[in-house]
Chains A and B, each alone.
Chain A
Amino acid sequence: ETGVTQSPTHLIKTRGQQVTLRCSSQSGHNTVSWYQQALGQGPQFIFQYYREEENGRGNFPPRFSGLQFPNYSSELNVNALELDDSALYLCASSTKTSAGELFFGEGSRLTVL
């Protein structure tokens, strides 16, 4: 039990639709990062939020966007869904230090048809 919860756990969308995934961080953690994990691959860094501002981004197009709220919970939004967006989306919370341990949620599995 990491104290990080994600919702929904599974969802199915069709191409062109939009999706919002949610993450509640562990208490006291002000940094959240999001990852995309395709089947059989390692996670890929999407972006990171620290105190409600994006402060790092991986190689993902602008249709991947996020928000972090004052209580440090977070959303990942994906617009204009494509078939290749089908993946497990993971969030991890940590304290904003270079030595911060990562605490992962169980992930949201998105299928795009």
Chain B
Amino acid sequence: KNEVEQSPQNLTAQEGEFITINCSYSVGISALHWLQQHPGGGIVSLFMLSSGKKKHGRLIATINIQEKHSSLHITASHPRDSAVYICAVRRVNRDDKIIFGKGTRLHILP
């Protein structure tokens, strides 16, 4: 079993829909990152969380440390939100290793 699991793997939705992507992890962490990767490869950091909730524009990220679970929400989704969304955790350890989920491929239809 992977240490970081994301769901769903693929998601297609209509423009305007509310989107939720989930991330569960099985290791102790010091931080959780939500990342966005567009075709071509470049990765952009959306959020870094260690507790609670953060909001940036139409994006909201929450984390429940006790349940080892995080969600990324997109309100009023738009075709430009189409991308791969990756959850990554920084493991509590001497090496601060980053462990990535496999990503959720989101496609928003106009």
Q: Which residues of A contact B (CB under 8 A)?
A: 2, 33, 35, 37, 41-45, 48, 55-58, 88, 90, 92, 96, 98-107, 109
Number of chain B interface residues as a range: 20 to 34
Whole-angstrom distance between the alpha carbons of A96 and B96 in the complex?
9
Name the residue on B nearest A103 (C-beta): B45
Chain A residues whose C-beta falls within 8 Å of the C-beta of B41 in the assembled complex: 37, 88, 90, 106-107, 109
Closest Cβ of chain A to B64, distance in Å, is 18
Whole-angstrom distance between the alpha carbons of A103 and B42 in the complex?
10
Are the C-beta atoms of A99 and B100 separated by less than 8 Å?
no
For the complex, is B67 an interface residue (Cβ under 8 Å from A)?
A: no
Are the C-beta atoms of A45 and B44 separated by less than 8 Å?
no
21-46 of chain B: CB within 8 A of chain A? 30-31, 33, 35, 40-45
Are the C-beta atoms of B99 and A45 separated by less than 8 Å?
yes
Are the C-beta atoms of A45 and B98 separated by less than 8 Å?
yes
For the complex, is B86 an interface residue (Cβ under 8 Å from A)?
A: yes
Q: Which of A48, A56, A101, A105 contacts B45 (CB 8 A)?
A: A101
Are the C-beta atoms of A102 and B103 separated by less than 8 Å?
no
Q: Which of A2, A48, A104 contacts B95 (CB 8 A)?
A: A48
Are the C-beta atoms of B101 and A42 separated by less than 8 Å?
yes
For the complex, is B50 an interface residue (Cβ under 8 Å from A)?
A: yes
42-95 of chain B: CB within 8 A of chain A? 42-45, 48, 50, 86, 88, 90, 92-95
A102 with B50: in contact, given A33-B98, A45-B100 (CB under 8 Å)? no
Closest Cβ of chain A to B110, distance in Å, is 25
Q: Which of B33, B96, B100 contacts A48 (CB 8 A)?
A: B96
Chain B residues whose C-beta falls within 8 Å of the C-beta of A88 in the assembled complex: 41
List 29 A-B pairs, Cβ < 8 Å: A2-B44, A37-B41, A42-B100, A42-B101, A45-B99, A48-B96, A55-B94, A56-B97, A88-B41, A90-B41, A92-B43, A98-B30, A98-B96, A99-B30, A99-B31, A99-B48, A99-B50, A101-B45, A101-B48, A102-B33, A102-B35, A102-B45, A102-B48, A103-B45, A104-B43, A104-B45, A105-B42, A106-B40, A107-B42
